[in-house]
Amino acid sequence: MMTLLKNLFWGIFMAIGEVFPGVGMQTVAIIIGIYDDMISFLYEGTEFLKTLGIFIFGKAKKEEIITSFKAISWSFGIPLGTGLVITILIVSHTVSSLFETYPDQISAIAFGIVLASVLIPYKEISKKTWRELLIFVISFVIFYGLFTIRITEHVTAEPTLWTFFGGGLLASIAGFFPGISISFALLLMGLYQPLLTTIGNMTSRGADLHSFLALFLFLAGLGSGLLICVRLLAFLMRRYKTLFLAFIIGLILGSLRAIWPFTAHGEEVFPWQVTLPVFTQQASYVIGAFIIVYLARSLAERKGSVTSSFGFKEKISI
């Protein structure tokens, strides 16, 4: 029972991180030490689906399906997902309102949380060679540039049906990495507003065939991305852990560009370009959030409740 309640609690934490601009549930999963458990749970789900597919083609026995189904960590996934979904539905509006009222303060807190999370994969890199450094630099440059792009919701052309499939595929993959949200990926591809319009059409009485196909292909792409990304991440965490962690560090540091906490007249500026009171306030939020996350993680590690956030140990068969 305590395990179920703990996983429910972690789901609540991840939901708060997901609706907190710039943080995301992946970052929270890394901080609380269940990122690898989350990937493992989803990997077990893909193993079940693979076994089911093999059974359909007559290459697997019924007992194998039952075994793979029982192997899924339901005691982890169900309470985690329950806490995640319910909390998002409850607090999303409140957090959105807070961000609209206190955008700079929320960004500063998010900046501190995300910055502290970098220490976790860094400490788990067993060896630091030129390869890890190269992967880090490449990852940082790519994602820093990506998060520098000014996104607008203006769509000049109606997306094709296959664009929805590709959008679902890429959005699903983006949703597994810290610092990148599914909504950000959709905005970047110009699919955020078209997808909302499509969903709106499906919920109205005037739903047409185009809207149905668009939503179906988006969900198909989302599901395909889930299957591909889960197995790829599991493979990387098992075979190329240090390089994968270097990539994650570059990604997280690059994503900080999107939540830069120092602004003046609506424009991002260097810390020394704001007034002293503003700098003091923002810096205190950043440092405070950083210290809280660092101390909480350190305490959990000392007590042994958290050992690794990237310790995937299951058998990999891509």
The residues pairing with 264 across neighbouring beta strands, listed in sequence order, are: 267
Kindly report the backbone phi and psi dihedral angles of residue 259, in degrees, each rounded to the nearest multiple of 5, phi listed first. Answer: -125, 35
Contacts made by residues 291-295, CB under 8 angstroms, sequence distance 24+: 291/116, 293/31, 293/112, 293/113, 293/116, 293/117, 294/116, 294/119
**pLDDT score for 284:** 95
Instruction: Answer yes or no: are the C-beta atoms of 174 and 181 closer than 8 Å.
Output: yes
3-class secondary structure for 129-169? CHHHHHHHHHHHHHHHHHHHCCCCCCCCCCCCHHHHHHHHH
* Average pLDDT value for the chain: 82
Question: CA 152, CA 167: separation in Å to the nearest integer?
Answer: 16
- Higher pLDDT residue, 147 or 134? 134
- Give 65's pLDDT tier (boundaries 50, 70, 90): confident
Lowest mean pLDDT among 52-66, 167-181, 288-302: 167-181
Which range of 67-81, 138-152, 189-203, 266-280 scores highest in mean pLDDT? It is 67-81
291: left (phi over 0), alpha (psi -120 to 50) or beta: alpha
| Residue 130 clears pLDDT 50, i.e. is over it | yes
Per residue in 248-291, pLDDT tens?
A: 999 999 988 888 888 877 778 888 888 898 899 999 999 999 99
The more confidently predicted of residues 16 and 308 is 16
């502290």: which residue's tokens?
116
What average pLDDT does the segment 42-61 reach?
A: 84
Count the neighbouring beta carbons within 10 Å of the beta carbon of residue 159. 19
As a whole number of angstroms, the distance between CA 26 and CA 15 comes to 10
- Percent of the chain whose predicted confidence (pLDDT) is above 90: 19
Residue 153 has pLDDT above 60, yes or no: no
pLDDT tens figures, 78-94: 999 999 888 887 877 77
What is the structure's pLDDT at 313?
55
Which of 192-201, 202-211, 220-229 shows the lowest mean pLDDT across its residues? 202-211
pLDDT confidence tier of residue 157, bands split at 50, 70 and 90: low
Report pLDDT for 318: 42
Give per-residue pLDDT as tens, 7-40. Answer: 898 899 888 887 777 788 888 888 988 888 888 8
Q: How confident is the model at residue 247 (pLDDT cuts 50, 70, 90)?
A: very high
What pLDDT score does 312 carry?
Answer: 62
* Pick from 68, 66, 46, 69: nearest CA to 235: 46
